[in-house]
Amino acid sequence: MKQLDPTSAAARDLASGRYRIRPMTVAELDSIGIAWMRDAGWNPGLHDAVTFHAADPEGFLVGLLDGEPIACLSAVAYGDSFGFFGCYIVRADHRGGGYGMALHEAGRARLAGRLQGGDGVLENVAIYEQIGRIFAYRNARFEGTAAAAPLSLRLAPLQASDWLELLALDAACFPAPREAFLRAFLTQPEATALVHRTDGLLDGFGLVRRCGTGWKAGPLFARSPEAASALYDGLTASIPAGDNFYLDIPEPNEAARALVARHGLREVFATARMYAGEPPALRLDWVYGVTTFELG
């Protein structure tokens, strides 16, 4: 596995104390991590700093050179069994010196003993393989335009009474419990969270949230294509007609591919889902919208 070059500038600066790595506060996550993601064109949500931080307050790392932030990374721990990497950016004027690798090693150490996952750009798959990640499947981002649609009577806004069933469905679609994150993420401002019930059973839920440009839908988890389609209609109808929105789907889900094709969405971006270990057994056929590329 590729490791930090001991002769690199980062290794020297770590040894001297010039380069320090520590967790970010919520305010720093907003002003550094989220701001850099916005500048890079990643289009984060307007409330991502607060909701992301709730997943793991110690899981968002910043690399500081002489006190100045030059790199950031999320290494979010979901309990003792799973962790996810994201939000990985090194300032352009400090790339090539090993600072990003040093930060990544700090993240890997933080998640030691857990299955580690992450989404990366397709052109860097070979690089990720050098640090022990294995390609699992492709995620694709699709763009569409909101339009009015007839809504199912089986849809309803998320209520407090839905949480036990919602968490049970999430457990089939995500590798570890993440209640603290979901409670923050699904109740954020400028967002709509819906559930779908069939014969009284909660068989789907989803969220659409406001971003710097347009909206992002996700998670969108459903036990059937019919529930997924109803949730898609409800979420997209909840945003202003004509606004752009984005939906990220795992390509192994054939019904999700059919959903975006039926609605004429166009692919605009893709990532490689990779794991440092055996990919978890998940109901990808129930995942019609990935929660986020940054946190899984």
Taken in order of first residue, the domains within the chain and their CATH numbers are 9-113 (3.40.630.30), 141-289 (3.40.630.90)
Cβ proximity of 205 and 156 under 8 Å: no
Q: Rounded to a whole number, what is the distance in angstroms from the first to the last CA of the chain?
A: 23
pLDDT at 139: 97
Cα separation, 222 vs 2, in Å, equals 39
Kindly state the percentage of the chain with pLDDT values over 90.
90
Provide the mean pLDDT of the chain: 96
For residue 2, pLDDT over 90 is answered with no
Q: Round to whole Å and give the CA distance between 236 and 220.
A: 12
CA distance 283 to 226: 16
State pLDDT tens for residues 67-118.
Answer: 999 999 999 999 999 999 999 999 999 999 999 999 999 999 999 999 999 9
Is 104:126 a contact under the CB 8 Å cutoff? no
Judged against a pLDDT cut of 80, whether residue 1 lies above it is answered with: no
Helices 99-110 and 9-16 sit at what angle, rounded to 10 degrees? Answer: 60
The predicted pLDDT at position 282 comes to: 97
Read off the amino acid at residue 285. D
Residue 266 has pLDDT above 90, yes or no: yes
Distance CA(157)–CA(205), nearest Å, equals: 9
DSSP alpha helices (H): ranges in the chain? 9-16, 26-28, 35-39, 48-55, 99-110, 125-130, 163-173, 179-185, 225-237, 254-262
Beta bridge partners of 137: 273
pLDDT tens per residue across span 145-155: 998 877 888 99
What is the pLDDT, as a whole number, of residue 42?
94
CA angle in degrees (0–180, nearest 5) for 188-218-247: 130
Identity at 223, one-letter amino acid code: R
pLDDT band at 3 (very low <50, low <70, confident <90, very high): confident
Q: What's the angle, vertex CA 292, arms to CA 275 and CA 158, rounded to 5? A: 130
pLDDT at 20 over 90: yes
Task: Note the pLDDT tens digit of each residue in 113-145.
Answer: 999 999 988 888 888 888 888 999 999 999 999
- Closest by CA position to 174, among listed 287, 87, 73: 287
pLDDT digits (tens, 9 = 90+) for 196-253: 999 999 999 999 999 999 999 999 999 999 999 999 999 999 999 999 999 999 999 9
Q: What is the pLDDT of residue 132?
A: 83
- Non-local (6+) Cβ contacts of 204 within 8 A are 169, 195, 196, 220, 221, 222, 223, 224, 227, 228, 230, 231
Task: Please report which helix (H) or strand (E) contains residue 85, including its range.
Answer: strand 82-90
pLDDT of residue 34: 98
- Express as a percent the part of the chain with pLDDT over 70: 100
Cα 276-279-280 angle, rounded to 5 deg: 125
